[in-house]
Amino acid sequence: MKTLPLISFRNVCKSWNQVTVLENFNLDVTSGELVVLVGSSGCGKSTLLRMLVGLEPASSGDILVSGNPVSGVGKERGIIFQEPRLFPWLTVTENVLLGLANSPLNSSEKKQLALNMLERVQLADFANVLPSQLSGGMAQRVAIARGIIAHPQILMLDEPFGALDALTRHTLQQQLLELHLSTGSTTLLVTHDVEEAVALADRVIVLSPRPGRIREEVKITLPHTRHRDDIAFIDLCRHIRHLITDVL
Ligand SMILES: Nc1ncnc2c1ncn2[C@@H]1O[C@H](COP(=O)(O)OP(=O)(O)OP(=O)(O)O)[C@@H](O)[C@H]1O
């Protein structure tokens, strides 16, 4: 018996004014998968996430979660953006605690979880400072901690590591992967970093230039942990890069 996909995009089209951004986009995502969307700038990757999170309606077609149409935001779907979007008047810990707003835990349990999460993103020493006292990369780590602690069934990340230095990016990629593997959350990640895609994904969806459609789905069957200097890893990166940059 075929299992029902957790997420389905069915013939989804999105236009703004006269511009068609996505045309007949179809994608099923199974519960527990980590799917990465890549493609040239403007092909509609962020738009797909914004529609799935419920911030933007499709012009036509259906977006289903567990078979039900998405009709607005819901706590089972969370998103982390490239920019941190922290509340400047709240401390780092208070910002992270916002991710637990719907949790049944009591306040001391929540605080402990928030502190644990801040340790995981190496910000325990900054728990009580305001966002204005953080660097851009540190602020983004707070946003990632807030998004992950909420533990949504579907976690979407829109270029979350784009503004970080290489070392921090690498660390957070590994943490995201560990969290994904340990919680079984279904994860959709948008990135321009092809190595990041191959390091993390079960499947990489390569979109064609606007109007975005699936150019190719690349299954990544390499076992974790993936070594970036392995020939198979390098070949996959090369193949995906070629798909993105080679104009049809
Ligand atoms: N609110 C909006 N109003 C009008 N056009 C929009 C709006 N949001 C996005 N677009 C257009 O939709 C297209 C796709 O945008 P989107 O941000 O989804 O692309 P992307 O693939 O995520 O690009 P990038 O990789 O550069 O972030 C772009 O041409 C953009 O100008």
Q: How is 20-52 classified by DSSP, letter by letter?
A: EEEEEEEEEE-TT-EEEEE-STTSSHHHHHHHH
Closest ligand 1 atom to residue 44 Cα is 18
User: What is the length of the chain?
Assistant: 248
Calpha distance 49→55 (Å, rounded): 9
On whether the CB atoms of residues 145 and 123 are closer than 8 A, the answer is: yes
Segment 167-183 shows an average pLDDT of 85
| The two structure tokens encoding residue 134 | 């953080």
- Name the 3-class secondary structure at 197: helix
34 and 90 both lie in a single domain: no
175 and 131 both lie in a single domain: no
Indicate the number of domains in the chain.
Answer: 2
Segment 51-68 shows an average pLDDT of 95
101 and 209 both lie in a single domain: no
What's the pLDDT score for residue 176?
Answer: 86
162 and 129 both lie in a single domain: no
| The two structure tokens encoding residue 136 | 């851009």
What's the pLDDT score for residue 108?
Answer: 95
What's the pLDDT score for residue 2?
Answer: 66
47 lines ligand 1 (CB under 6 A): yes
The greatest distance separating any two alpha carbons of the chain, rounded to the nearest whole angstrom, comes to: 56
201 and 142 both lie in a single domain: no
> For residue 27, is pLDDT > 60?
yes
186 and 210 both lie in a single domain: yes
217 and 162 both lie in a single domain: yes
21 lines ligand 1 (CB under 6 A): yes
Segment 2-28 shows an average pLDDT of 92
Rg (CA), the chain: 18
228 and 164 both lie in a single domain: yes
234 and 158 both lie in a single domain: yes
pLDDT tens for 74-110 read: 888 999 998 899 999 999 999 999 999 888 999 999 9
What's the pLDDT score for residue 209?
Answer: 87
42 lines ligand 1 (CB under 6 A): yes
On whether the CB atoms of residues 247 and 219 are closer than 8 A, the answer is: no
End-of-domain residue from the set 151, 175, 192: 151
Q: What percent of the chain has pLDDT over 70?
A: 98
List the one residue out of 225, 205, 224 whose CA is nearest residue 215: 205
Q: What percent of the chain has pLDDT over 90?
A: 69
pLDDT tens for 213-229 read: 899 999 999 998 899 99
What's the pLDDT score for residue 167?
Answer: 84
Output the residue whose Cα is nearest ligand 1's atom 23.
42
Q: List the Cα angle 57/63/66 in 5-degree steps.
A: 135
Domain of 216, in residue numbers: 1-76+152-248
Distance 120 CA to ligand 1 centre (A): 32
Calpha distance 63→5 (Å, rounded): 12
159 and 147 both lie in a single domain: no
pLDDT tens for 183-207 read: 888 999 999 999 999 999 999 999 9
131 and 232 both lie in a single domain: no
> For residue 142, is pLDDT > 90?
yes
End-of-domain residue from the set 106, 133, 151: 151
What's the pLDDT score for residue 247?
Answer: 56
H-assigned helices in the chain: 45-53, 92-97, 107-120, 136-149, 166-183, 194-200, 231-245
Calpha distance 179→187 (Å, rounded): 10
Calpha distance 143→117 (Å, rounded): 11
Between 154-158, 227-231, 244-248, the lowest mean confidence (pLDDT) is in 244-248
Output the residue whose Cα is nearest ligand 1's atom 20.
42
On whether the CB atoms of residues 59 and 13 are closer than 8 A, the answer is: yes
pLDDT tens for 106-139 read: 999 999 999 999 998 889 999 999 999 999 888 9
> For residue 8, is pLDDT > 70?
yes
Question: Residue 77 corresponds to which amino acid?
Answer: R
CATH number for 206: 3.40.50.300
> For residue 38, is pLDDT > 80?
yes
End-of-domain residue from the set 151, 167, 184: 151
| The two structure tokens encoding residue 146 | 């807030």
142 and 160 both lie in a single domain: no
Segment 16-29 shows an average pLDDT of 92
List the one residue out of 224, 216, 209, 210 whose CA is nearest residue 240: 216
More confident residue, 1 or 118: 118
On whether the CB atoms of residues 46 and 85 are closer than 8 A, the answer is: no
The mean of the pLDDT values for the chain is: 92
Output the residue whose Cα is nearest ligand 1's atom 13.
42
16 lines ligand 1 (CB under 6 A): yes
Question: Quick one: how far is CA 168 from the chain centroid?
Answer: 17
